[in-house]
Structure 1
Amino acid sequence: MIEDKNPKKTSIGELGEFGLIDYLTKNIKISHSSTIKGIGDDAAVLDFKNKKAVVSTDLLVEGVHFDLAYMPIKHLGYKAVMVNLSDVYAMNAEATHITVSIAISNRFPLEAVEELYKGIRLACEKYNIDLIGGDTTSSTKGMLISVTAFGEANQEDIVYRNGANAGDLLVVTGDIGGAYLGLQVLEREKQVFQVNPNMQPDLDMYSYIIERQLKPEARQDIPGLLKALDIKPTSMIDVSDGLSSEILHICKQSKVGCNLFEEKIPLDPQVISTCEEFKVDSTTMALSGGEDYELLFTIKQDDYPKIKANPNFTIIGHMTQESEGVHLITRANQKVEMVAKGWNPLKKEEE
C-alpha cells in the first residue's frame, strides 16, 4: 500500500468545541446498566447500587510521558486508557467507565484527534468500558490527555496497599522490564533517524518489548482469576513506576519489610537478549523501569498451593518485619538494601 504523502487535514477550528465533541463521540455505545446518563449533559449519572465505586485519574503530557516521534497517535489513545484501567484492577475491582479530557495545540488537525479517539474507542470496546464524558480545550504547545477511570467492587473484595503482613508471599503477574527497554530501543532509533532520515529501522527482533511500551495491556483478567482461585490478596499495586518503587509503597503503607529474590524476577527472553546488547543489567531494568502495568500483590502463605502452578503468577519474595528493612537478595546470595529508582516525572522536569 502506497502511503498518502498529503493526507487530508481538517482544522478543528472549523468544527468548534461542541462540534468536535459530537464528531468524536457519535459512535460511542453504552454497554453497562450502571450508566444512566453518559455523554451529552452537564455530568454523567451512574448507579452502582450496593457496590463501592473506585476512581483513578492519570495525566499524560507530550514531551514528558510520550513522544509522538515514535508513538503512533492511535496507540497513544489506547495506552492512555490502559494506564488508568490498571489502577482500578490494582484495587481488585472491575473497571466500568472512563472520562477523557484533552488539550491540543493548533498543529493537530481533526484527523489526528480522530486517530487518538480510535485508540480510546478500541480500548473501551476490548475492555468493555463506557466512555461517559470529558472535556476538550486548546493548548499553547503540544498535547495533554487526562483520563479518569471508574470501577466497582463489593466492599469485601477491595484490596489496598496497606494490608501486607510479615510472612506473606510477594507475587507478580506476567514479566517485568520490557516496557522500559522498549523505550530505550525507540529512543535509540529516533537518534539514528535524526542523523540519517533515510535509514529504515528493523525492529522485528524487538517486537515484544516495543509493544509493551507502545501498546500495553492492563491485567483485567487478574481480579476474576484470583476470585476463581479463592484468593484475596492482602495488598496489591500496579507496576507503573518500577518494581522497587511499588514494593517500597507496599512496605511503607503496610509497615513491613521485604526480601525480593533477584533470581525469581520474571524476565522475557527478549528483555535478557536486549539487555546484553545494550550492556545494561536486566535486574536494574526490572527494578527501575516501570510502565509494565502488571500487578504486584501479597498473599498469605496458606494460599501458596492455590497459586504455585499457575503460569500467570511468579512468587518473587516474601514480606518480613518492618525492622528487617527492604532488601534484594542477589543471585550471589548477597543482601542489598532496596531503594526507589523508578521514573519520576517531577524530578525530570526539575533537572
Structure 2
Amino acid sequence: MFENSERTDIAELGEFGLIKHLTENFKIRHESSIKGIGDDAAVLNFDGKEILVSTDLLLEGIHFDLAYVPLVHLGYKAVQVNLSDIYAMNGVATQITVSIGLSSKFSLEAVEEIYKGIELACNKFNIDLIGGDTSSSKQGLVISVTSIGYVDKKDVVYRNGAREGDLLCVSGDLGGAYLGLQILEREKLIFLENPNIQPDLEGKDYIIERQLKPEGRRDIVDLLAQMEIIPTSMIDVSDGLASEILHICEQSGKGCNLYEEKIPIDPVTYETARELGLDPTVCALSGGEDYELLFTIKQEDYPKLKNDVDISIIGHITEKNSGCKMISKSNMVHELKAQGWSAFKG
C-alpha cells in the first residue's frame, strides 16, 4: 500500500524536521490561537468562555485496518471523531493537536497523505492545528488527536440534564457506518482468498463513506442555535444508539421509551443489512461510528424543529423506575440493552 517510486525515509528529516515539513502549510484562523506550533506550548485566549477539551486515540489493528482505509481518509476521520465530542457539548471546536507514532514501514509520502486528510478536515471545519508530537512505534500506526473548543456558559450541554417528558432526538440516520465496515471486511476476505478479484462496492458508496469519512455534526449545533433550542442533554453516537441513550438515562437518573419505527435508517443501510442477513434495527442500535448527535429537548421546543428533515424524534424520557424500553414495530416492549463496540473486547 505504501509502495512509492519516490520513497523518502522519515529518518532523513528527524523529528523536528518532520513536524516542520508536515505542518508548514497549516494556517492560523482563530484570534484565540495566540501561538500555535513552534514553541514549547501553544498559547490560547478564549476571553472568559467555557473551554472544552477532548482526546481520542486511534490504533492500527484496533480502530482501523490499512488494508482498506486510505491514509488521507484516516487523517480526516481522526480529526472528525474528535471534533464530534466538542459538538456533543453544544460547543464550537477551534483547535487540535495531533500526535502520531510511526513504524518503519511508513515513508514520508505515506505520512503526508495522513496530514493531507488532517488539513482537509481543518479547512472544512475551520480548525487550527496548534501542536502535537511524533514518535517511532513498534506496534504500527498510532494517532492521538486532542480537540479544543469553547461554549458560552449558558449554552453548555451535558449528558446528565434529561428530564421526564423531554423528547429524544437524533440527527441524520444510523447504522450506515457499521454496514459499511461489514462490506469492507467482506471484500477484504474475498481479496485475500483471490487477489485477482476486484472489490464489489457498487451501490454501497453511501455506507462506505459513512465508515471511511464520517462528518462531525457542527451543522446541527449551528441549527439548534438558529432555532434557539438548548438541548437538555446531548451525546454523540460513537458506540451505537442504545449505548448512548443508556448513558444519557443513567447520568440523568431517568428512563426512556424508544420507538423502533422512529429510528432513522437510510434505504441503502436497510437493504445491505438484509443482504447480509442482519437486522437493520440492531445495526442502528449497536453498530456505532455514525457520529450523529443524540439529544433531548423540552416538549415546548418541539414546534421549532418538527419540520426539520435531518432531525428525528425517536422517543421520550420517563421516570427512572420505568426503565429504558424500546417499543418494537409490532408494539412489543423490550428492555433496551447496550451491545455496541467496546474498546476492551477480547
TM-score, normalising length: structure 2? 0.99
Alignment partner, residue 246 of structure 1: 244
Is the contact between residue 179 and residue 207 of structure 2 (CA under 8 Å) also seen in structure 1? yes
1:6 is displaced (CA, Å) by 4.5
Query: What are the equivalent positions in structure 2 for 1:17-166 lying under 5 Å apart?
Result: 17-166=15-164
Q: What do residues 242-278 of structure 1 show as CA deviations (whole Å, max 9, x unaligned)?
A: 0000000000000000110000000000011101100
Aligned residues: 346
Q: In 1, Cα distance between the equivalents of 2:159 and 2:92?
A: 17
Q: Does residue 13 in structure 1 map to residue 26 in structure 2?
A: no
1:4 is displaced (CA, Å) by 11
Q: In 2, Cα distance between the equivalents of 1:219 and 1:273?
A: 25
1:7 is displaced (CA, Å) by 2.9
Q: In 1, Cα distance between the equivalents of 2:163 and 2:4?
A: 60
Q: What do residues 135-166 of structure 1 show as CA deviations (whole Å, max 9, x unaligned)?
A: 00010121000000001110000000000001
- Tell me, which stretches of 5 or more residues in structure 2 are unaligned? none
Q: In 1, Cα distance between the equivalents of 2:312 and 2:18?
A: 46
Alignment partner, residue 230 of structure 1: 228
Secondary structure, in 3 states, of the residue corresponding to 2:163? coil
Secondary structure, in 3 states, of the residue corresponding to 1:137? strand
Alignment partner, residue 342 of structure 1: 340
Runs of 4+ in 1 over 4 A off after TM superposition: 3-6
Q: Does residue 259 in structure 1 map to residue 257 in structure 2?
A: yes
1:218 is displaced (CA, Å) by 0.4
Amino acid at match of 2:318: T
Q: Say what the alpha-carbon RMSD is for the aligned residues.
A: 1.1
Change in Cα spacing, 1:6 to 1:154, as seen in structure 2 (3 Å) is closer
Q: In 2, Cα distance between the equivalents of 1:123 and 1:304?
A: 32
Secondary structure, in 3 states, of the residue corresponding to 2:118? helix
- Tell me, which stretches of 5 or more residues in structure 1 are unaligned? none
Is the contact between residue 80 and residue 215 of structure 2 (CA under 8 Å) also seen in structure 1? yes
Change in Cα spacing, 1:199 to 1:229, as seen in structure 2 (3 Å) is same
Q: In 2, Cα distance between the equivalents of 1:311 and 1:47?
A: 37
Q: In 2, Cα distance between the equivalents of 1:223 and 1:208?
A: 23
**Match of residue 331, structure 2, among 317, 328, 333:** 333
1:204 is displaced (CA, Å) by 2.5
Alignment partner, residue 167 of structure 2: 169
Alignment partner, residue 304 of structure 1: 302
Percent pairwise identity: 64
Alignment partner, residue 320 of structure 2: 322
Is the contact between residue 2 and residue 107 of structure 2 (CA under 8 Å) also seen in structure 1? no
Amino acid at match of 1:28: F
TM-score, normalising length: structure 1? 0.97
Q: In 1, Cα distance between the equivalents of 2:156 and 2:202?
A: 40
Secondary structure, in 3 states, of the residue corresponding to 1:333? coil
Q: Does residue 192 in structure 1 map to residue 184 in structure 2?
A: no
Secondary structure, in 3 states, of the residue corresponding to 2:204? helix
